[in-house]
Structure 1
């Protein structure tokens, strides 16, 4: 990739668990057809190029390496690939967060970014991208919902400099395109300087060295003889092998032990918590006579699940119960 091309393009890194809607987010930004795209179809980092709102955009999407479902080596592989593919550094990290699910994994993702790349990666360069907003009532605004029912998500937004957005719209294609334009405008408001840190600087140096190596190897294959190491490698040759070089570099010194302790929740336990959450929400919807005891219900859920995750789930279940009760009351009054 030439220096001018690197400076003119807008690089975005999309993060989040698959169920949080990372694939639709990438497709919306680049104007891809969801069913025809390979975004998120393989369990590895992907890189896509396109044009959006008059800008050349590169979107790197990553598996949920912050989930307890991945072992340390898988995490290291995914993170190394993420850094290499988004080198020399992204203009924004977009963390997809579902408005109707617990946010334990997403909170861990912010912790990893801050510890691995530095606090500015979160406070200055990360935007929360809310998904599944179709779960809200037609007359309910995202801002009001977060302030009333999901203060845990507002705390996450606060960690990211109060930056959040959604690409979902009930108005169809025109409104969705406008939502993408607004997102890119928010990213550009931070200036043209992309994020950088020692790890990204190391990645860029390795990518450039690998580009030169690949070009010279190809020259030797074409001429069937060794090439002169002093021969200059052109920008065009470098750009032609950029992505191949990005995918072939590795070995970054990632210290993840303190970020992902060995006592992390096991995959089976994580799956259990996810299933429990869905069952609890469904159960609450069928118990209108008990929703006035929402605070007690939330506390009991927290005790049952246990640990910090349990406390978070309990608080959120209490909020869901309150919301259900409020809406049941409003529906009853309207029907009188």
Structure 2
């Protein structure tokens, strides 16, 4: 039996957004720019491909640099910037800043939405603090532009399947993101796109003004960036629905 929208939240103060609240991006927005962050490259890759309705992020191994791809949905351009694993504990502040700088340039003049693709079991308190640091490196307002996408959890060895909200680090992250979250299970493209559009609308269609030092970005070369802009193809919602149904475990 399918889980009800609020089943995972019983006894919690975290409640998913209601279906009636879905919104498309404001009409004046000709482009929607989305940055993917999270603790699994394979899941971010699958989500990016789902958004664009085609397989464009196709490397099995996490990239060394940020990667930009784009497509079109009717009259709007959708830009997706996928990132390396920025939550690793051994990444220096200098390297982290350089990744953020390249991401800022790829999403110029700034991202509209940060989509945080998180695997509940693997999202630790340390990773939560790291993700806070990453978002704050972009801007102190990044959390206002963030949406958490909860990946389908794996069954636990004990045989007890925890609800999503029994993970403290995940709870804290959702609260920090103004209670904006989606569950990946049974998620299809139209719902995801409207939620992304809703975040943009809540911010009046304004992008994040990133606070990264301009002096630091001047020295960036093409070695720090990997821009893979293929010819933009329209996002086919019918095709993407079938793609989404085949990817229940990204």
Please name the residue that 2:95 is paired with.
74
Is the CA contact 2:41–2:85 (under 8 Å) kept in the aligned structure 1?
no
SS at match of 2:134: helix
Is the CA contact 1:16–1:64 (under 8 Å) kept in the aligned structure 2?
yes
Q: Does 1:154 pair with 2:171?
A: yes
Within the candidate set 175, 179, 196, 2:191 is matched to 179
SS at match of 1:110: helix
SS at match of 2:212: helix
Please name the residue that 1:195 is paired with.
208
SS at match of 1:100: helix
TM-score, length-scaled by structure 2? 0.63
Q: CA deviation at 1:110?
A: 1.6
Task: For 1:1-336, list aligned pairs within 5 A.
Answer: 8-18=30-40, 21-33=43-55, 37-38=58-59, 41-52=62-73, 55-103=76-124, 104-114=126-136, 116-122=137-143, 124-133=144-153, 135=155, 145-147=163-165, 149-169=166-186, 176-190=188-202, 191-199=204-212, 202=214, 247=225
TM-score, length-scaled by structure 1? 0.48
Is the CA contact 1:97–1:106 (under 8 Å) kept in the aligned structure 2?
no
Give the number of the structure whose alpha-carbon radius of gyration is greater: 1
Structure 1 or 2: more strand by fraction? 2
Cα distance change, pair 184–72 in 1 and its aligned pair in 2 (3 A) = closer
CA distance in 2 between partners of 1:72 and 1:41 (Å): 19
Q: CA deviation at 1:84?
A: 1.3
Once the two structures are superposed, residues 67-108 of structure 1 have per-residue CA deviations (whole angstroms, 9 ceiling, x without a partner) of 113234432332221121112110011111112223332431
Cα distance change, pair 165–187 in 1 and its aligned pair in 2 (3 A) = same
Cα distance change, pair 66–7 in 1 and its aligned pair in 2 (3 A) = same
Is the CA contact 2:44–2:82 (under 8 Å) kept in the aligned structure 1?
yes
**In angstroms, what is the RMSD of aligned CA positions?**
3.6
Once the two structures are superposed, residues 246-283 of structure 1 have per-residue CA deviations (whole angstroms, 9 ceiling, x without a partner) of 949xxxxxxxxxxxxxxxxxxxxxxxxxxxxxxxxxxx
Task: Structure 2 unaligned segments of length 5 or more: list them.
Answer: 1-27, 227-250
Once the two structures are superposed, residues 180-203 of structure 1 have per-residue CA deviations (whole angstroms, 9 ceiling, x without a partner) of 233233223322111114438x49
Q: CA deviation at 1:131?
A: 1.1
Cα distance change, pair 20–40 in 1 and its aligned pair in 2 (3 A) = closer
